[in-house]
Structure 1
Amino acid sequence: MNDAVPASEVAWQALPERSRALFLLAGGLPMLVLGTAAGAGLGLVLGTVFEDTDRALLVAIGAVALALLAGGLGTWLGAKQYSHTRWLLDAHGLAVRRGRLWHRETRVPLTRVQHLDVKRGPLQRRRDLATLVVHTAGTANSAVAVPNLDAGDAEHLREQLGRQIDRDDD
């Protein structure tokens, strides 16, 4: 773990391996539900077109097929999101980098940090993970979240950024 040091001496940090499952779940579960509903709807439509086929069978086949397809796609996207999320703390502030095809890098300068939260849901607590939320100066909804960090890293980042806020207030 790096304290606030010059950017040239700091490497981008990956999320811990144990957070991968939460990204897979967050990507796959909603798509699984959506795929099930869409497949059932497709089965109903096909049941009206093919009147001589059992409608319940078409609904079941459509629901299972699209659920598997959409759930697999969501899980794959969750894996990509996990593998392409990095964070960095340097002398200028906190930065979060996401994405491979569409890169998104968010930098929060130390001078813009207003307050910091560490959130831990039940699945995160089970895996010793946390989400760091950095609230910034600006509109009421200005915040940057770094999900599924190691809980120790999240606490350390909060302390480091908090010390800087305290120094700026003096």
Structure 2
Amino acid sequence: MTSFRRRLRRPVFLGPSAAVLVLAAAGCSTTGSPASITVPTPVPEVAAYCGALHKELPETVAGQNRDDSGPRSVLTASWGDGAIVLRCGVDRPAKMDDPMAKGTDADGVNWLLEQPEDAGPRFTTTYRKAYVEVTLSKAYAHDASPLAAFAPAVRKTVPNSV
């Protein structure tokens, strides 16, 4: 996996050409949230990390209040009526096997970037004993800064795997 190191602390916006590329990949709409939240089914060790993470998650992310609009589970959380969704204990994304995959670092936590068709960006932690996935609505297609809000909780509760 190719990783570009970029410290995300406060709102950081992609450069003009990168923003155009991401917006083109995301489509013209700037709204929309995940339709439904599927609760992962991790092994007990991973579920324990996720339970600890759940207790440390912030109440607000990118100005959005936590609302947990999906199923009640320590494996899921959401902010802004589902505009930002976190799932812990997801399976390892196949995209991690791609040496050309894009990644980023947000305050010491590495994330794989995936851009599903007709959806906002999806980020999954790398080099951690539990995979934590954050899906952002299309409104955040140009902005990965919400990841910085999760970094302290992930660093504290989900150990490195390397």
The structure with more radius of gyration? 1
Which protein, 1 or 2, shows the higher relative CO under an 8 Å CA cutoff with sep ≥ 6?
2
Structure with bigger helix share is 1
Structure with bigger strand share is 1
TM over 0.5: no
